[in-house]
Amino acid sequence: MNPHLIAGQPQIAYQGQQLYAEGVSLSTLAQRHGTPLLVYSKSAMLSALAAYQRGFAGRNVQICYAMKANSSLGVIQVFAQAGCGFDVVSSGELERVLAAGGDPGKVIFSGVGKTRQEMRRALQAGIGCFNIESEAELDVLSDVALKLGCRAPVSIRVNPNVDPKTHPYISTGLKDNKFGIAHERVVQTYQRAAALPALEIKGIDCHIGSQITTEAPYLDALDRMLDLVQAIEAAGIAIQHIDLGGGLGINYNGETPPQADQLWQKLLSKLDARGFGERALMIEPGRSLVGNAGVCLTEVLYLKPGEHKNFCIVDAAMNDLPRPAMYQAYHQIVPLQARAEATTLWEVVGPICESGDWIGHDRALAVEQGDLLAVLSAGAYCMSMASNYNTRNRAAEVLVDGVKTFVIRERETVADQLRHERLVQA
Ligand code: LLP
């Protein structure tokens, strides 16, 4: 059996017949903490980060982890300790950064619908920059900052109208998407921002989509961004930093996205060639830092072979792993204890009462009731999008560091879920 399940990712691999995360047997973790259980390898996260750091060696770059991918405190803490900043999209995410010991000065605040309250909180915390997504938002932010007696650092999110060639729900830089300011209006939007009393223009940003597996959309977006920087600066407005967003894809099912360091070598060469080599840069990677560092462990509850389909019913469901139901996403599913070659195809499904609750179609697995399986590449957009549908408790999370393990989230209880609900009092 190939010990490396995901190319280039040695942290989650079989040792003998048993699947391990770093130095820890996943079966042991499942027995100790129950299932469904999310397990993350710290070293896989740090090596994903290192690929970016290698690409940026010697440059002025701030890596802001897009924590929507996985906002668990223990995960944020790993990136905060490694010197990362954070891309947040709500004041809730900002509170998480602060709770995990992150530096608010390295926080950028993205999103199309920031409320006044969120703006106030972010200004009071002293965040690094707001990524502004509409002209109306500029006015509101200036007003909020004026009332607080401060100036708000801003960057304007440009919609570069580049097709990232990814799932329509996660493509964000096309002109029909709700994000950013249309290319044609960018210079006048900067002029408007410059005229507002309480804004301080810092940079320009874009984010063209997610799970991008080729380099061309990045190179195109960078060209368009640099054209805009030239036009904005020609209008007398200085741009300190360029933020190229996140979006780099990972290997879920044999995809071969560019490696972060190789992608950035190309992007940096373009910056150099166009005379922007000294410009400060920011990026907002999410999935590529955590996606392949996590697995979801689940137990086979029942096998239900049928005439047309064989169902393998597991204890993880679309509330724990929403990506298949939402995006028809593929996640590899493997046994924790390697078995003989599989001959049967299974529909791997969860216990939730709807047909959309599937985790994998037609998977060749040699399984028995009570077996433990791992759903791979579950580090990004799984726990952060988990829900309580069917009043299911959200799973526990364990971070592995070598042979050490840390419970970074206890399994939720029904009492936790009911805490904020009230019966109607007559
Ligand atoms: N910056 C901004 C402004 C974003 O909207 C996003 C993701 C990122 C950075 C990080 O992108 P990443 O590096 O993770 O691709 N739930 C979907 C993905 C939604 C992505 C939303 N925006 C999924 O599970 O595939």
Structural domains in the chain, CATH included, are 12-41+291-418 (2.40.37.10), 110-285 (3.20.20.10)
Q: Where are the beta strands (DSSP E) in 42-188?
A: 61-66, 85-88, 107-109, 129-132, 152-159, 181-182
Structure tokens at 21: 């995360």
Residue 355 exposed, middle or buried by CB count within 10 Å (0-12, 13-18, 19+) = exposed
Show Cβ contacts of residue 247 under 8 Å, excluding neighbours closer than 6 positions.
164, 207, 208, 209, 210, 211, 212, 218, 285
Report which protein residue has its CA nearest ligand 1's atom 24: 381
Query: Please, which residues have CB within 8 angstroms of residue 380's CB and are 6 or more apart in sequence?
Result: 69, 70, 250, 286, 287, 290, 291, 294
**Predicted pLDDT of residue 242:** 98
Distance of alpha carbon 323 from alpha carbon 377, whole angstroms: 11
Residues with CB under 6 A from ligand 1: 66, 68-69, 87, 110, 170, 172, 207, 210-211, 245-248, 284-288, 323, 327, 381
Residue 377: CB atoms within 10 A of its CB come to: 28
Distance CA 245, CA 280 (A): 14
Residues forming a β-bridge with 269: none
How far is the C-alpha of 201 from the C-alpha of 235, rounded, in Å?
A: 13
Are 68 and 89 within 8 A, CB to CB? yes
Q: Is the peptide bond preceding residue 3 cis, with omega within 30 degrees of 0? A: no
The whole-number pLDDT of residue 177 equals 72
Q: How far is CA 166 from CA 65, 126, 291, 391, in A?
A: 21, 35, 16, 32
Query: What does pLDDT average to in each consecutive run of 10 residues of the chain (426 residues)?
Result: 70 96 98 98 98 96 98 98 98 98 98 97 98 96 98 95 70 70 94 97 96 96 96 98 98 96 97 97 98 98 96 98 97 93 93 96 97 98 98 98 98 98 94
**Nearest residue to 24 (alpha-carbon basis) of 6, 10, 41, 46:** 41
Q: How far is the CA of 55 from the centre of ligand 1 (A)?
A: 21
Cα(36)–Cα(51) distance, rounded to whole angstroms? 30
- pTM score, whole prediction: 0.97
- Could you tell me the end-to-end alpha-carbon distance of the chain, in angstroms, rounded to an integer? 64
In the chain, how long is the greatest CA-to-CA distance? 73
The pick from 284, 327, 384 for probing ligand 1's pocket by mutation, whose C-beta has the most ligand atoms within 8 angstroms, reads 284
Which residue, among 336, 251, 350, 245, has the nearest Cα to 293 in the 3D structure?
A: 251
What is the distance in A from the centroid of ligand 1 to the CA of 281?
Answer: 19
The pLDDT value recorded for residue 1 is 47
Give the CA dihedral 205, 211, 217, 218, nearest 10 degrees: 50
What local confidence, expressed as pLDDT, does residue 343 receive?
A: 83
Query: Which residue has a Cα nearest atom 19 of ligand 1?
Result: 170
| Ligand 1 centre distance from Cα of residue 286 (Å) | 6
Cα 172 to averaged position of ligand 1 atoms, centre (Å): 9
Q: Which ligand 1 atom sits closest to the C-alpha of 210? A: 15
Q: Which atom of ligand 1 is nearest to the CA of 284?
A: 9
Say what the pLDDT of residue 173 is. Answer: 60
